[in-house]
Structure formats: structure tokens, C-alpha cells
Amino acid sequence: MSEESLGVQRRRLFWDRASEKLLYLLVISSGLIVLLIAATLYFRSRPVLQMQPLRSLLFSLDWHPSRGSFGFLPFIAGTLWVTCVAMALAIPVCLLTSIYIAEYAPKKFREWINPLIDILAGIPSVVYGIWGVLVIVPFIKEWLAPLFHVSSTGYCVLAGGMVLAVMVFPFIIHLSTEILKAVPQELRDASLALGATKWQTIKNVVMRRAMPGIVAAIVLGISRALGETIAVMMVVGNVARLPKSLFDPAYPLPALIANNYGEMMSIPLYDSALLFASFILLLVVLYFNVVSRMILSGSKWSSYYYG
């Protein structure tokens, strides 16, 4: 091999290795951003942690920033209420929709329904909020609440949950559909050959094999729902007290941060308290993402879903 050919080969190997190292650094950097955000929020929230015990911050109902009392329980409870209602409404609809699209729907139907679901995912959050104010809130106030003999303004946990459920529909539907499609066709054929009906095959074979992946998709949907802000903030009522029913107003953590950060910062520790709320939200979202990853990696599903 000539000197010129050896030089070209060395340069090619050098740039190949350099590109590999650069891509590696970029991947590491993107992962470190999460740690950097968490560290920043933690250190900025330390003043309120030093002034008030962690137990008091998490489990106290007393929210009076002007008096130095920062009890986050109403906001944590509001977040859990709205998220649980949203997932209770979304999960059955999403699973049944995914089953139909993956197992029953003809090709032409899938070709036009998938873009519609994509449009749902692309609608801005504020548009969902306006729709909730114009449709969901009056529906609860004038129809649903009187049906249960309850007085409600319509701005309540149920309104936030309904709007949030619609927002997470496309996320869970897409993931669940792809997971169901990834189940090997041989399993369906074997079940049908043994005399099972199509629904029995779906229920006892397809769903059983896909269940870890579907659970992971639902957990990711929960983490997505926890962080939604504008639409929920517009319909949930934003009252800092513990909700006792679906028709009570609530005040989720994202709404608290969006409503107040940048205002009333002259109050001591207020900035630190809101950053602590952000830190709590980040930890909860990270927890659900880790759980979904563990569900997938700890099951046989991961061996063929991730190839």
C-alpha cells in the first residue's frame, strides 16, 4: 500500500474516531442537563429547606407566604387529584382505541385516523384550556354538578382531569398501538388455529404479551400529565385548599409555579419555595420515567420491542 493510501486511511480513521467521540460527548451532555437542572433547583430551594422542616413543607396545609408558612400539601394533593382523574378517564379510552387501530381497523381507516391523533398532539396547550373554559366548565356547572345535587362553579378537579385526559390521549394511543403491533403475528395465528376467537386471542395472548409495554406507556403518560400547566390552570380553579371531591377547585403544582413565579418576589423565601415546588415536580416526573424504564427492561417484552 502506498504512502498516499496510508495517509488517506489514517485521516479517515481519525475523523471516524473523532466523530464517535463527539457524538458520545453530545449524548453525555444531554443527559447531564437533567442533573444540572435538578442541582440548580435544589441549591436555589435550600433557603426554604433550612427555614422549614421537610415534613412541614410536604404535609402542612398552611400556605401563607407573607408569614413565612409554605405548606405544599394542598398543591401536591391537587396535582394528584387532577392526574388521577385524567388517567382514570384516559386509560380505558386509549387502550380500547389502540386495540381497535392495531387489531381491527382496516388500512384506509388507519391512514386517516392517525393524522387526526397527531393533530391532537400538536394542538397548543392554551387552545385546550380555552376549549375547557368554553365547553367543559359550563357542562359541569349546568349539567353534571346538578345531576349529583352539588353546587359547583365548573372550575374544579373534574374539569382539569377531563381536559388533561384529552391532552394525553395521543401520547398513550400512539405508544400502545405500536406496542400491540410489535407482538409477533405467529402468536395470533397459533391462538386462532387452536379455535380461539379474535377477541379471545387479543385478550389472552396479545394483551398478556404486550402488558409490560402498555403499563410503561401509561406510566410515561402519567409523567406527561403531571407537567401540563396552562390548560389545567385555566379550568381547575386555582384555590389553595385540599380538594374533597371532584367538584372542588384545586391548585396543582405546575399552576402554582406558572401563576406566581416572577411576582411577589419581594416576599422572603417566596422564590425559594416556588423553586422547591419545581424540584418536587422534577423528582416525581423522573421517578415515573425510571419506573417505566424498569418495567420494560425487567420484562421479556424489551427483548423484541427494542430489538
Question: Residue 279 belongs to a domain with what CATH number?
Answer: 1.10.3720.10
Q: What DSSP assignment string belongs to 201-226?
A: HIIIIIHHHHHHHHHHHHHHHHHHHH
What does the alpha-carbon distance between residue 76 and residue 250 come to, in Å, rounded to a whole number? 10
121-165 pLDDT, tens per residue? 889 999 999 999 999 999 999 999 999 999 999 999 999 999 999
Distance CA 278, CA 42 (A): 9
Q: Are residues 255 and 185 in the same domain?
A: yes
Long-range contacts of 64-71 (CB under 8 A, 24+ apart): 65/264, 65/267, 65/269, 65/270, 65/273, 66/267, 68/268, 68/269, 70/269, 70/273, 70/276
pLDDT tens for each residue of 203-231:
999 999 999 889 988 988 898 888 888 89
**Domain residues for 209?**
58-305
Instruction: List beta partners, residue 70.
Output: 63
Q: Which residue, among 283, 288, 297, 276, has the nearest Cα to 41 in the 3D structure?
A: 276
Pair (191, 144) in one structural domain: yes
The number of distinct structural domains making up the chain is 2
Domain shared by 13 and 126, yes or no: no
Angle between helices 207-227 and 270-297 (to 10 degrees): 170
Nearest to 256 by CA among 234, 233, 223: 233
What sign results for the dihedral spanned by CA atoms 187, 190, 194, 198? positive
Look at residue 43 and tell me if it is in a domain. Answer: no
What span, in angstroms and rounded, lies between the C-alpha atoms of 273 and 251? 15
Provide the residue count of the chain. Answer: 307
Q: 63: which DSSP letter?
A: E
pTM: 0.84
* pLDDT (0 to 100) of residue 3: 65
118 occurs within a structural domain:
yes
Q: Do both 155 and 213 map to the same domain?
A: yes
Same-domain pairing of 105 and 236: yes
- pLDDT higher than threshold 50 for residue 304: no
